[in-house]
Structure 1
């Protein structure tokens, strides 16, 4: 295939319909061997994955398979595996599209869906409840077709996720949906296959508490690669797009893969050691289609409710990078405002970095640079005086000053930065200021090597530019002189003595009265 025709290959960005994808000639990463394993090994499944990770396409693929559309699977693994291609009645319910801000919205959505099915299978709704109608449709579909029914539910938790700020409405939704989903337990004899997806698990929000027969495969090694892309899949399917991306960025093919990895890889959906790290499919497809690295997944939906949760719980942002949690809390029963971490994990802003089998403890961290910097940039305005549009502007100025060796200008800007805090923030604790320092230095890492202290025995912050290495020590209760002394006595400079760059020590005292930087000394 020549490069010019190659360049016009169709990448399935945001395409969630398998039939459309296949009949219109879009590229597809073949997941059908795993799908065959799913359909032959079990019946009721639950899968939690972050948004834009291919859950809807997976359900659409299952639908095409169960409708017996063999022609769509030509050339895919399942074509060889499946002999029968029976056609089953499929009830596909998606809660994805709507904005659920009132009881009527959810009811209207369920009403439309039920009416469509009732028309299809000749059911008279009479005066039945939603759950009564759902139950009747399942039974009638089975009787009419002589085959058991397949039920696919996409984004089951969308109405719940949109109502965190309205507990009464959330409870109302929970009751309605619980009654609706519970039908699946009693209808079991009429069901061939059930697959439910969502972002959150929360013993499924209490919604599926009665559906205890669901097989939750969210953390199964076997299905770790069911949604998302592996490095091998990307290189095998998109070689020419990778070459175009490298050419556009003026880097080598290997560097392009490395940058793709740094920015979009790093998801791990299982505690087992022999996992394959997964790339975010939405970001990868966008970067390849546009031949440009950018924060695609992050920009496609902002985690406002998460940051609101963090603020309400006075959560220390610094803990997110490398936080340890018990395995029980990761599959927590309730969407718990006091413990936002499971929610942040399930939403895709944190991922599993390691698992301690003995103590049943996960270490979580940001999966990659897109998520880390996206999240911190997004959080910055909630903790600092800058607006979201100004964050990178501010950070860019900080970096330029350090690159040019103008540490005075940097510290003066930092002082102005703190002085701009709205009055209500000024009653904040010392920890609030530590979080702000953390954000400033962490965000500088987008442009230059910056480390913020996470372990004892390290300086508060270290920033490396082409010509300088800055070692910062901030004293909340002490003098600038003591800060410099600590840099010397604790040997913070030792790792950098052999480095050819100029090492600059910066000791800063914090003025509790002014709630700002006080004096500083530079050596």
Structure 2
């Protein structure tokens, strides 16, 4: 009989005692302990078992779980006597920033301080007797949600000192989802205050702390050293491209196929592989998304499980607000192609709105992209990575995200698509202007109307066409899209459908007095550049090829076709 597939359990003890489905990752304990690194930062995409592994470490090392060997019986770590003797022998401080998601710095600071205060409350036994002197007891009792910055910065170091004194052993510190408040700070505009607060806390806790035995931090991204790790020169960083611990987060293909057999789903191996495989950690390929696999075992159907959460909002914002070059490369990814880029695994959040390679680096760290190939560039000393979308689930997630960009248009977008398919130019003009009026600024990061970049909108609009019409058309776009021109070719999948060529052009007021002149220039561009050639070569009759010129002036659009407007 297969094990239970209770979803959402992140506590190791609960999983083990309730016979929930669990893949043995306890060799991680041995490898980490024998590596003997003082402070380790491990980055993996969300819901890849980081919290469960941290809970596993707590239950293994913490003195609170001394004599609880039954939690590890039958698992690989329990086969070695030296590790059986190690279980339950260290004071452990386990904290998580996963729920720190406030919109202001004051709120997030108070939340972290409150969390530390609650941990102090659980250690109230330290106040008993004369282990602490009167000054230390007062400092202990002053730890609260409203404590001063200097008290907050030294709070975890002070508590680890007290625990070391009590147990006679230095402390293991586990901090899960360390970067959640940093991402919230970036999104909500209080980055500098957050950096200053976290840097002081981390420096005192992980560097100038003689009571520290070992520490692990987990997160999605490696935030740049200059931001919060500037003083941690001894930090061992394990990103997704590093071989260390490569098989301990996520499920290997062997583990997934064994699970499918246990649940009588062996015939679905290829389907599960297509949807949820594709992650690469270090040199290990074919890593599966564990959250999606568990959901599949429970519900026995493919769906968007991992990708269907609000955690994708930052990824969507970066692409929607990105410039034309980023959106052109994203088109390639959505068509199933790959892009070549430099990757910097130290995420510099301030660069996300300015550098597309920083965005690709973030999306790789977050699990939306996978590495197909790596090439060392001797001249620059950097690596170039060939990246593609991770799997079908991620592609479907992005398709839904693109369609959501036009959700607020009150059906105008869908009406435009219908008018386009019917060739109704009058209706196309009406609905396209409604769409631009509603969503134009949504694609732009500019704070002033004068800073608006029309290309951000119509490159996003083309992505919408690609997704909306994917069942009927193959969309290709012209990569030489400078000077405000951008052509799109819609090649029909069925012979009965017309092919379409769309030329987008921003009005040049010096040469084009009215928008109708811009429309004419766009249509002339289609003829001069012979955009129909590729369609004719594929056997599409010339009379089945429609040409449309889209002329933009701010949020106003005028569309014409073959002399008609």
TM-score (norm 1): 0.80
Q: What does residue 108 of structure 1 align with?
A: 114
State the distance in 2 between where 1:78 and 1:470 align.
Answer: 64
For 1:165-184, list aligned pairs within 5 A.
165-168=187-190, 170-184=191-205
State the distance in 2 between where 1:390 and 1:13 align.
Answer: 36
TM-score (norm 2): 0.74
State the distance in 2 between where 1:412 and 1:261 align.
Answer: 46
State the distance in 1 between where 2:525 and 2:322 align.
Answer: 34
For 1:185-264, list aligned pairs within 5 A.
185-186=206-207, 189-203=210-224, 206-218=227-239, 219-241=241-263, 243=265, 254=267, 256-264=268-276
State the distance in 1 between where 2:367 and 2:271 align.
Answer: 20
Note the C-alpha offset of 1:201.
1.2
Q: Relative to structure 2, which stretch is displaced further, 459-468 or 80-89?
A: 459-468
Q: Relative to structure 2, which stretch is displaced further, 95-104 or 148-157?
A: 95-104
Q: Which of the numbers 301, 305, 313 marks the counterpart of 1:304?
A: 313
State the distance in 2 between where 1:151 and 1:507 align.
Answer: 64
Question: Aligned pair 1:51/2:53, yes or no?
Answer: no
Note the C-alpha offset of 1:113.
2.2
Q: Which of the numbers 440, 452, 455 marks the counterpart of 2:476?
A: 452
- Aligned-residue Cα RMSD (Å) equals 3.8
CA change 1:154–1:479 in 2 (3 A) is: closer
Note the C-alpha offset of 1:134.
1.9
Gaps of 5+ in 1: 244-252
Q: Secondary structure at the match of 2:501?
A: strand
Q: Deviations over 1:492-521 (max 9, x none)?
A: 454x55x9x999544332234662432169
Q: Deviations over 1:100-136 (max 9, x none)?
A: 3413223222222233235458654524713333222
Q: Secondary structure at the match of 1:163?
A: helix
Q: What does residue 247 of structure 1 align with?
A: none
Q: What does residue 491 of structure 1 align with?
A: 534
Gaps of 5+ in 2: 141-150, 442-451, 482-486, 506-520
State the distance in 2 between where 1:164 and 1:373 align.
Answer: 26
Q: Secondary structure at the match of 2:258?
A: helix
Q: What does residue 373 of structure 1 align with?
A: 396
For 1:55-454, list aligned pairs within 5 A.
55-67=50-62, 69-81=68-80, 83-85=82-84, 86=86, 87-101=89-103, 102=107, 103-117=109-123, 119=125, 124-127=136-139, 129-168=151-190, 170-186=191-207, 189-203=210-224, 206-218=227-239, 219-241=241-263, 243=265, 254=267, 256-270=268-282, 274-310=283-319, 314=323, 316-320=326-330, 321=333, 322-327=338-343, 329-336=344-351, 337-339=353-355, 341=359, 342-358=361-377, 359-382=382-405, 384=406, 386-387=407-408, 394=414, 407-408=421-422, 417-423=431-437, 425=440, 428-430=453-455, 432-445=457-470, 447=471, 450-453=474-477
Q: Relative to structure 2, which stretch is displaced further, 372-381 or 229-238?
A: 372-381
State the number of aligned residues: 488
State the distance in 2 between where 1:158 and 1:422 align.
Answer: 34
State the distance in 1 between where 2:188 and 2:340 align.
Answer: 30
Q: Is the 8 A contact 2:153 2:200 kept in 1?
A: yes
Q: Relative to structure 2, which stretch is displaced further, 187-196 or 213-222?
A: 187-196
Note the C-alpha offset of 1:45.
0.9
Q: What does residue 476 of structure 1 align with?
A: 504
Q: Deviations over 1:79-119 (max 9, x none)?
A: 22453332211110111124334132232222222332354
